[in-house]
Amino acid sequence: MTGAFVLDKTSILDRLGGDEEIFTMMVDMYVEDLDSNCEALSAALVSGDVSVLRREAHTVKGLLATFSDDDGAAEAALVEQNASQGIVADQAAAVAGLLARMRQVAEVLRAG
């Protein structure tokens, strides 16, 4: 398990050229899409389709990286890599951890 997510808003804003409006828009989109992204990742695991699981994990990796969550992005990258190697069935715990991480990030972002 990775450490708790800590928001580093300063570094994110640096990457965004200091644009608070874009940051707020990104946070809003992440929080609004959280349930559908979690459902898509869960459904990909249940489907057993390695290409769908790989794609969904890749999406989550990008979302978490957007908020400088290196640990969460690494978790997603591992799920993506395993799916690329044809591994689905043994990923239930990893996907559950990733879902929890996505929710934790949303909580931190909401708290702001």
Among positive and negative, which fits the CA dihedral 16, 21, 23, 28? Answer: negative
pTM, to two decimals = 0.92
Does 1 have pLDDT greater than 60? Answer: no
- Ranges of H-type helices in 1-112: 9-15, 20-47, 50-66, 70-84, 92-111
Please state which CATH number belongs to domain 9-111. Answer: 1.20.120
Q: What percent of the chain has pLDDT over 90?
A: 96
Rounded CA-CA distance 87/66 in Å is 26
Q: Where are the domains of the chain?
A: 9-111
Q: Residue holding tokens 């591992």?
A: 78
Residues 52-100 have pLDDT tens digits of: 999 999 999 999 999 999 999 999 999 999 999 999 989 999 999 999 9
pLDDT of the residue at 3:
87
Q: Residue holding tokens 């790989």?
A: 54
